[in-house]
Chain A
Amino acid sequence: MALYILRRVLQSFFVLLAVGLVAFSMFRFVGDPVDNLLGQERTQADIERLRDVLGLNDPFIVQYWNFLKDAVQGDLGVSFRQGRPVMDIFIERLPATLELALISAIFAVVVGVVLGVYTALKPKGWLTNLILTVSLVGVSLPTFLIGILLIYVFAVELGWLPSFGRGETVQIGWWTTGLLTGSGLKALILPAITLGLYQMTLIMRLVRSEMTEVLGSDYIRFARARGLTDRSIHFRHAIKNTLIPVITITGLQLGSIIAFAIITETVFQWPGVGLLFIDSVRFVDIPVMASYLMMISVMFVAINLIVDILYVIIDPRLRAGENT
Chain B
Amino acid sequence: MKYLLLSTALTLGAAPAMAETFKWASTTDPQTMDPHAVNSAPVLGFLNNVYEGLVRRGKDMAVEGALAERWEPLGADGWRFHLRQGVTFHDGSTFDADDVLFSYERASSESADTASWFSPVSEVRVVDDYTIDFLTNAPNPLFPSSIANFMIMDRSWAEANESVVPAKDVETFATRNTNGTGAFQMVERQPGLKTVLEPFDGWWGEVEHNITRAEFTPIQNSATAVAALLSGEVDLINPVPIQDAERLGASGAVNVIRGIEARVIMLGFGHEADTLKYGANAGDPNPFRDARVREAVAKAVNVPAILQTIMRGNAEPASQLVSPAMNGFSAANDRRPAFDIEGAKALLADAGYADGFGFGLKCPNDRYLNDEAVCQAVTSMLAQIGLDVELDTMPVSNYWPELRADNYDMYLLGWSPGTFDHEHPVRFLVTTPNAEKKLGSWNFGGFSNARVDELLPMIQSEIDPAARQAMVDEVTAIYQSEHTYVPLYVQPLVWGTQANVSVVQRPDNFFILRWVTKG
A252 at interface, CB cutoff 8 A: no
Q: How far is the CB of B34 from chain A (nearest CB, A)?
A: 8
Contact present for B397 and A82 (CB under 8 Å): no
Report the nearest A residue to B218, measured CB to CB: A269
Q: How far is the CB of B254 from chain A (nearest CB, A)?
A: 11
Contact present for B224 and A151 (CB under 8 Å): yes
Q: How far is the CB of A21 from chain B (nearest CB, A)?
A: 22
Contact present for B438 and A35 (CB under 8 Å): no
**Which residues from chain A contact B116 at a C-beta distance below 8 Å?**
41-43
Contact present for A83 and B170 (CB under 8 Å): yes
Report the nearest A residue to B44, measured CB to CB: A39
Contact present for B192 and A271 (CB under 8 Å): yes
- Given the interface contacts A32-B401, A39-B38, A155-B231, does A164 sit within 8 Å of B171 by beta carbon? no
- Given the interface contacts A32-B400, A35-B397, A92-B190, does A269 sit within 8 Å of B220 by beta carbon? yes
Contact present for B397 and A32 (CB under 8 Å): yes
A31 at interface, CB cutoff 8 A: yes
B76 at interface, CB cutoff 8 A: no
B19 at interface, CB cutoff 8 A: no
B193 at interface, CB cutoff 8 A: yes
Q: How far is the CB of B43 from chain A (nearest CB, A)?
A: 9
Contact present for B395 and A31 (CB under 8 Å): yes
A104 at interface, CB cutoff 8 A: no
**Which residues from chain B contact A151 at a C-beta distance below 8 Å?**
223-224, 227
**SS class of chain B's interface: helix, strand, loop or mixed?**
loop
Q: Please pick, from A84, A156, A271, the residue contacting B171 in the complex, using a CB distance under 8 A.
A: A84
A99 at interface, CB cutoff 8 A: no
For window 181-230 of B, CB contacts with A under 8 Å fall at 190-193, 217-221, 223-224, 227-228, 230
Contact present for B231 and A39 (CB under 8 Å): no
Q: How far is the CB of B106 from chain A (nearest CB, A)?
A: 16
Contact with A along B383-415 (1 / 0, CB 8 A): 000000000000111111100100000000000
Which stretch of A203-211, A275-283, A307-315 is in the interface? A275-283
- Given the interface contacts A35-B397, A85-B171, A271-B192, does A42 sit within 8 Å of B441 by beta carbon? yes
A178 at interface, CB cutoff 8 A: no
**Which residues from chain B contact A156 at a C-beta distance below 8 Å?**
227, 230-231
B50 at interface, CB cutoff 8 A: no
**Which residues from chain B contact A42 at a C-beta distance below 8 Å?**
113, 116, 441
Contact present for A279 and B171 (CB under 8 Å): no
**Which residues from chain A contact B401 at a C-beta distance below 8 Å?**
31-32, 35
Contact with A along B322-352 (1 / 0, CB 8 A): 0000000000000000000000000000000
A184 at interface, CB cutoff 8 A: no
Contact present for B441 and A44 (CB under 8 Å): yes
**Which residues from chain A contact B217 at a C-beta distance below 8 Å?**
164-165, 269
Q: Please pick, from A39, A82, A283, the residue contacting B113 in the complex, using a CB distance under 8 A.
A: A39
Contact present for A279 and B397 (CB under 8 Å): no
Q: Please pick, from A33, A41, A81, A89, the residue contacting B418 in the complex, using a CB distance under 8 A.
A: A41
Q: Please pick, from A44, A92, A271, the residue contacting B435 in the complex, using a CB distance under 8 A.
A: A44
Contact with B along A1-22 (1 / 0, CB 8 A): 0000000000000000000000
B461 at interface, CB cutoff 8 A: no
Q: How far is the CB of B391 from chain A (nearest CB, A)?
A: 19
B169 at interface, CB cutoff 8 A: yes
Contact present for A268 and B191 (CB under 8 Å): no
**Which residues from chain A contact B223 at a C-beta distance below 8 Å?**
148, 151, 267
Q: How far is the CB of B234 from chain A (nearest CB, A)?
A: 9
For window 161-199 of A, CB contacts with B under 8 Å fall at 162-165
A37 at interface, CB cutoff 8 A: yes
Contact present for A37 and B398 (CB under 8 Å): no
Contact present for B397 and A31 (CB under 8 Å): yes
- Given the interface contacts A31-B401, A269-B220, does A54 sit within 8 Å of B169 by beta carbon? yes
Q: For the complex, give the distance between the alpha carbons of A162 and B168 in Å.
A: 35
A105 at interface, CB cutoff 8 A: no
Q: How far is the CB of B184 from chain A (nearest CB, A)?
A: 22
A72 at interface, CB cutoff 8 A: no
Contact present for A163 and B231 (CB under 8 Å): yes
Report the nearest A residue to B43, measured CB to CB: A39
Q: How far is the CB of B304 from chain A (nearest CB, A)?
A: 29
Q: How far is the CB of B125 from chain A (nearest CB, A)?
A: 25
**Which residues from chain B contact A283 at a C-beta distance below 8 Å?**
31, 397
**Which residues from chain A contact B113 at a C-beta distance below 8 Å?**
38-39, 42
Q: For the complex, give the distance between the alpha carbons of A50 and B230 in Å.
A: 42
- Given the interface contacts A43-B441, A53-B169, does A82 sit within 8 Å of B39 by beta carbon? no
Contact present for B395 and A269 (CB under 8 Å): no
A129 at interface, CB cutoff 8 A: no
Contact present for B428 and A35 (CB under 8 Å): no
Q: Please pick, from B40, B219, B416, B435, the residue contacting A45 in the complex, using a CB distance under 8 A.
A: B435
Report the nearest A residue to B366, measured CB to CB: A282
Contact present for A83 and B171 (CB under 8 Å): yes
**Which residues from chain A contact B32 at a C-beta distance below 8 Å?**
82-83
Contact with B along A49-61 (1 / 0, CB 8 A): 0100110000000
Contact present for A164 and B219 (CB under 8 Å): yes
For window 406-449 of B, CB contacts with A under 8 Å fall at 416, 418, 428, 435, 438, 441-442
Q: Please pick, from B31, B114, B224, B230, the residue contacting A268 in the complex, using a CB distance under 8 A.
A: B224
B151 at interface, CB cutoff 8 A: no
Contact with A along B226-262 (1 / 0, CB 8 A): 0110111100000000000000000000000000000
**Which residues from chain A contact B219 at a C-beta distance below 8 Å?**
164, 269
Contact present for A267 and B39 (CB under 8 Å): no
Contact present for A163 and B227 (CB under 8 Å): yes
Q: Please pick, from B38, B170, B192, the residue contacting A279 in the complex, using a CB distance under 8 A.
A: B192
The residue among A92, A159, A269 with the most chain B CB atoms within 10 A of its own CB is A269
Q: For the complex, give the distance between the alpha carbons of A242 and B441 in Å.
A: 68
**Which residues from chain A contact B169 at a C-beta distance below 8 Å?**
53-54, 78, 83
Contact present for A276 and B192 (CB under 8 Å): yes
Contact present for A164 and B228 (CB under 8 Å): yes
Contact with B along A62-85 (1 / 0, CB 8 A): 000000000000000010111111
Q: Please pick, from A54, A85, A155, the residue contacting B227 in the complex, using a CB distance under 8 A.
A: A155
Q: Please pick, from B176, B233, B400, B418, the residue contacting A163 in the complex, using a CB distance under 8 A.
A: B233
**Which residues from chain B contact A43 at a C-beta distance below 8 Å?**
116, 435, 438, 441
Contact present for B398 and A164 (CB under 8 Å): no
Q: For the complex, give the distance between the alpha carbons of A41 and B441 in Å.
A: 8
**Which residues from chain B contact A276 at a C-beta distance below 8 Å?**
192
Q: For the complex, give the distance between the alpha carbons of A111 and B11 in Å.
A: 58
Q: How far is the CB of B291 from chain A (nearest CB, A)?
A: 27
**Which residues from chain A contact B233 at a C-beta distance below 8 Å?**
155, 162-164
**Which residues from chain A contact B265 at a C-beta distance below 8 Å?**
none
Q: How far is the CB of A137 from chain B (nearest CB, A)?
A: 20
**Contacts A152-B227, A267-B221 known; 8 new A-B pairs at CB < 8 A:** A39-B38, A40-B428, A82-B192, A83-B170, A83-B171, A84-B191, A165-B217, A283-B397
**Which 4 A-B residue pairs are closest in the complex by CB-CB distance?**
A31-B397, A39-B39, A41-B116, A31-B398
Q: Give 6 CB contacts A-B under 8 Å.
A: A31-B399, A78-B171, A81-B31, A85-B171, A152-B227, A162-B231
